[in-house]
Amino acid sequence: MAGPDPALLSINAATVRAQWTLPRIIDGCARHGIRGIAPWRDQVAAIGLGDAAKRIRDAGLTVTGLCRGGMFPAADRAGRRAALDDNRRAVDEACALGARCLVLVVGGLPKDRAGTIVSRDLIGAREMVRDGLGELLEHAQGAGMPLAIEPLHPMYAADRACVNTLAHANALCDELCPKGSDGLGVAVDVYHVWWDPELAAGIARAGAADRLFAYHICDWLVPTTDLLNDRGMMGDGVVDLPRIREWMEAAGYRGMHEVEIFSQETWWKRDPDVVLATCRQRHAERS
Ligand code: ZN
């Protein structure tokens, strides 16, 4: 199998967030010949939306996604309203940055204002997600900003996302936009979905409806020592990345390959120039 086009490499800014601020990450991408970036809202807010947008534009980077919106479920109506308001702001920020999509981590069980889970009603949480998505979609469609539902590994169902498979994300898209994409699609992150026996079918189904908005890569380490912050560099774990890329390409995906690595004990401790050089090399050779 041929390796990926190096020009398709994008860096999720979390990959070097422990070492660098957003301006330095943007400069680093330029220095390493990396053409895409996916910033986080807190990184953007730290320097201001206008400044962030200008720096990214001046560097000629494609914004493969803004991280992130979502977190729809809440204990009460006021909480859900606050989440929706914040999501509308996230859509507007994504527009200002020229992002290809707003990535949505949809939220888990309802929490109170202090962030404590107050319910065991997972089915109800999924209904809140569907309803929240539907409401946000109206604003996003008006703004012309695609929304990408990112299914998360089921270990995060309680606290981060109760949409855990591509099949579930596809079903939500079908329910809310029955006639095809219409601004709602999915982000395929290999860390979350690599294990799924229905993955190939899910990618094909999303592609057929023009709903493949983003592709996030890293690797699954064995053992994984921290469920959130021990993602592996491509080639260091057990994910068959070339095969999943092949499925994405066969399904019609032509977008970038965004490296997203949260790594408290390894990559966040390395020289960030070494991290970016390694991303380039592993993208070319092991993805
Ligand atoms: Zn991701």
Q: Are strands 102-105 and 36-38 parallel, antiparallel or unpaired?
A: unpaired
pLDDT at 103 over 90: yes
- Ligand 1 centroid to Cα of residue 78, in Å, is 28
What pLDDT, in 10s, does the model give residues 18-34?
999 999 999 999 999 99
**Percent of the chain at pLDDT exceeding 70:** 100
- Ligand 1 centroid to Cα of residue 81, in Å, is 25
Confidence at residue 97, expressed as pLDDT on a 0 to 100 scale:
98
Residue 61 backbone class (left: φ over 0; alpha: ψ -120 to 50; beta: rest) = beta
Closest CA to 12 of 186, 233, 222: 233
| Of 7-16, 176-185, 197-206, 252-261, the least confident | 176-185
Q: What is the mean pLDDT of residues 258-285?
A: 98
Q: What is the mean pLDDT of residues 254-271?
A: 98
What is the chain's mean pLDDT, rounded? 97
Distance CA 146, CA 173 (A): 12
Q: What is the mean pLDDT of residues 225-254?
A: 98
Domain boundaries, the chain: 6-286
Distance CA 32, CA 238 (A): 27
- Ligand 1 centroid to Cα of residue 152, in Å, is 8
Q: How confident is the model at residue 258 (pLDDT cuts 50, 70, 90)?
A: very high
- Ligand 1 centroid to Cα of residue 118, in Å, is 26
Distance CA 128, CA 145 (A): 21
Q: How confident is the model at residue 261 (pLDDT cuts 50, 70, 90)?
A: very high
The residue to which tokens 């099949």 are assigned: 167
Q: What is the mean pLDDT of residues 230-246?
A: 98
Confidence at residue 2, expressed as pLDDT on a 0 to 100 scale:
82
- Ligand 1 centroid to Cα of residue 160, in Å, is 12
pLDDT at 52 over 90: yes
Q: Which residues of 224-247 are buried (b: 16+ CB within 10 A; e: fewer)?
A: eeeeebbbbbbebbebebeebbeb
- Ligand 1 centroid to Cα of residue 260, in Å, is 6
Distance CA 15, CA 252 (A): 27
Q: In Å, how far are 98, 133, 228, 244 from 247, measured between CA atoms?
A: 27, 27, 26, 5
Residue 30 CB-density burial (10 A; 0-12 exposed, 13-18 middle, 19+ buried): middle
Confidence at residue 181, expressed as pLDDT on a 0 to 100 scale:
84
- Ligand 1 centroid to Cα of residue 105, in Å, is 9
Bond from prior residue into 110 cis (ω within 30 degrees of 0): no
- Ligand 1 centroid to Cα of residue 175, in Å, is 23
Question: HSE of 100 in the Cβ direction (CA atoms, 13 Å)?
Answer: 22
pLDDT at 4 over 90: yes
Confidence at residue 180, expressed as pLDDT on a 0 to 100 scale:
84
- Ligand 1 centroid to Cα of residue 150, in Å, is 7
- Ligand 1 centroid to Cα of residue 189, in Å, is 5
CB 62 within 8 A of CB 8: no
Q: Please give the CATH topology (third level) of the domain spanning 6-286.
A: TIM Barrel (3.20.20)
CB 106 within 8 A of CB 163: yes
- Ligand 1 centroid to Cα of residue 57, in Å, is 23
Distance CA 129, CA 122 (A): 11
- Ligand 1 centroid to Cα of residue 190, in Å, is 8
- Ligand 1 centroid to Cα of residue 247, in Å, is 18
